[in-house]
Amino acid sequence: MTSNNLLKCLECGTRYDNDFRLSCDNDDSFLRMEYPERINLRQVNGIGKFTDWLPINEVLTTTAGPVTYKSEHLAEELGLTNLYISFSGYWPERDASIKTCSFKELEAHPTMQRLKESGHKAIVLASVGNTARAFAYVSALTGMDVYIVVPEFGLDKLWIPTEVTDSIHLITMNKGNDYTDAINLSQRIADLEGIMPEGGARNVARRDGMATVMLDAAFTINRIPDHYFQAVGSGTGAIAAWEASIRLRNDGRFSDHMPKLQLAQNLPFTPMVNAWNERRREIIPELDMPDAKSSIEKIYADVLSNRTPAYSVTGGLFDCLTESDGIMYAISNSEAKSAQDMFESLEGVDILPPSAVAVASLVKAVEKQNVNRDDVILLNIAGGGEKILKSEFSVSTIKPTASAKDSDIDLDLIMDTGSYRA
């Protein structure tokens, strides 16, 4: 890594070389990259444009990137005059070319590049679907090994828009295990030599990859928006939007006010909404997510089912919500589904369930007058276009290489050793 690419701890201020470092030696805080104050766009398509503010040296060649456009029909329906939509997915009409159909691909490309530039060859992650698809796809493109742990209910989301390669190792967890069980098992696999944990929200390549949503919006609108709407599961995307806004403010060309974070979860599983409504930094499981496993089974947007989000940690979502005086919404399945129908018929593209939750929260915000008619609003449609993609391309289903009964399983039973021991 070049010496001008440094990580800084948000708690104690210690600086570190980038490498693939995920945490501080002194405390539990997030690390954040220090970049040049002003971003100069590279003349490429896709997120490579934003290389100045990504923790990698080589310019990514993927055409995948977020697309920002001004809404006409949804805006009119809601009585808004400055509604902008950030679309991460597949929608050729708008030059949106994320073929795994969610903003998880914005995390996967820079993460795999960061892994490569720091001399590693294999990575492990847990996912309920969209992340797995994104990392599997980038593995197929780059040949770098990924070990993916998924609970059984995520399996139907595991396709990629290309041939499946030997570099993709899929471990499923039997029924009864949820996202957090998958996270626990992936943490044990990460202790094996030669396999790096992908780090979730602690991985600056994931945050800064997702931050390109806000960067692309700022360059399109020519300013930082007044409000940012997104459905949250781990909180990574919203933290990234906040960090991007800080960098844009310091850049100086995009106005100096920060966006209000307006975020949503899907009832009955809303731990961050419950904690935030009491302005509590700690999530108390008995209060904020009683009967977590059965609640998770009931939600429409199952990718929003993280029981250990990046909420309390220094630099996490609680801090971002506090600084932005944010608002959180609890959205029911039926509210999400009707918002989805409305969005699809007005904007003309299919969207994933979590994005339906985001649209429903915007509808609520308008009703509650949490936005004004002429405010500049950014609605993050973080996943969509799957129907369009599947009508144009044939996709390959990823077959499990192993299955685990629980997160305590003997690792020798599920790891094809040799492949990762370089």
Smallest separation, CB 237 to ligand PLP (Å): 3
Helices 236-251 and 317-324, interaxial angle, to 10°?
50
Q: What is the DSSP pairing of strand 260-266 with strand 227-231?
A: parallel
Nearest residue to the partner ligand PLP, using Cβ: 383
The footprint of ligand PLP on residues 109-148 (CB under 6 A) is 130
The correct pick among 1, 24, 80, 112 for binding Zn ion (CB under 5 A) is 24
Of 53 and 87, the one with the shorter C-beta distance to ligand PLP is: 87
CA distance 30 to 203: 9
The footprint of ligand PLP on residues 97-116 (CB under 6 A) is 102, 104
Which two tokens mark 92? 């050729």
CB burial string 43-79: b at 16+ within 10 A, e below: ebebbbbbbebbbbeebbebebbbbbbebeebbebbe
The correct pick among 235, 271, 315, 385 for binding ligand PLP (CB under 6 A) is 235
DSSP 404: E
Task: By CB under 5 A, tell whether 334 contacts Zn ion.
Answer: no
CA distance 105 to 134: 5
Task: By CB under 6 A, tell whether 354 contacts ligand PLP.
Answer: yes
Task: By CB under 5 A, tell whether 11 contacts Zn ion.
Answer: yes
147-150, Cβ contacts within 8 angstroms, sequence gap of 24 or more:
147/122, 147/123, 147/171, 147/186, 147/189, 147/195, 147/415, 147/420, 148/124, 149/124, 149/125, 149/173, 149/182, 149/183, 149/185, 149/186, 149/189, 149/404, 150/126, 150/182
Which two tokens mark 4? 């001008």
11 binds, among ligand PLP, Zn ion, none (CB under 5 to 8 A by kind): Zn ion
Q: Which stretch binds ligand PLP (CB under 6 A): 218-226, 228-236, 336-344, 393-401?
A: 228-236
Task: By CB under 5 A, tell whether 31 contacts Zn ion.
Answer: no
**C-beta neighbour count of 191 within 10 angstroms:** 10
Smallest separation, CB 26 to Zn ion (Å): 4
Q: Given strand 402-404, what is the order of strands in its sheet? A: 195-197, 122-126, 145-151, 168-173, 402-404
Of 5 and 154, the one with the shorter C-beta distance to ligand PLP is: 154
Of 314 and 419, the one with the shorter C-beta distance to Zn ion is: 314
Q: Which stretch binds ligand PLP (CB under 6 A): 139-147, 216-224, 246-254, 349-357?
A: 349-357
Which residue is listed with tokens 């080589």?
Answer: 58
Q: Find out whether 382 and 237 touch, Cβ atoms under 8 Å.
A: yes
Smallest separation, CB 361 to ligand PLP (Å): 12
Smallest separation, CB 16 to Zn ion (Å): 9
The correct pick among 9, 123, 136, 371 for binding Zn ion (CB under 5 A) is 9
The correct pick among 231, 283, 360, 366 for binding ligand PLP (CB under 6 A) is 231
139 binds, among ligand PLP, Zn ion, none (CB under 5 to 8 A by kind): none
Of 268 and 384, the one with the shorter C-beta distance to ligand PLP is: 384
Task: By CB under 6 A, tell whether 232 contacts ligand PLP.
Answer: yes
Q: Which stretch binds Zn ion (CB under 5 A): 4-12, 78-86, 101-109, 189-197?
A: 4-12
The correct pick among 383, 414, 415, 420 for binding ligand PLP (CB under 6 A) is 383
The correct pick among 217, 303, 366, 388 for binding ligand PLP (CB under 6 A) is 303
C-alpha separations of 150 from 57, 114, 131, 300, 405 in Å = 31, 23, 10, 18, 12
Q: What is the DSSP pairing of strand 96-97 with strand 90-91?
A: antiparallel
Of 251 and 335, the one with the shorter C-beta distance to ligand PLP is: 335
Of 14 and 142, the one with the shorter C-beta distance to Zn ion is: 14
Q: Which stretch binds ligand PLP (CB under 6 A): 231-239, 253-261, 290-298, 396-404?
A: 231-239
Q: Which helix (H) or strand (E) holds 184?
A: helix 179-190
Q: Find out whether 381 and 355 touch, Cβ atoms under 8 Å.
A: yes
**Residues forming the site for Zn ion (CB under 5 A):** 9, 11-12, 24, 26-27
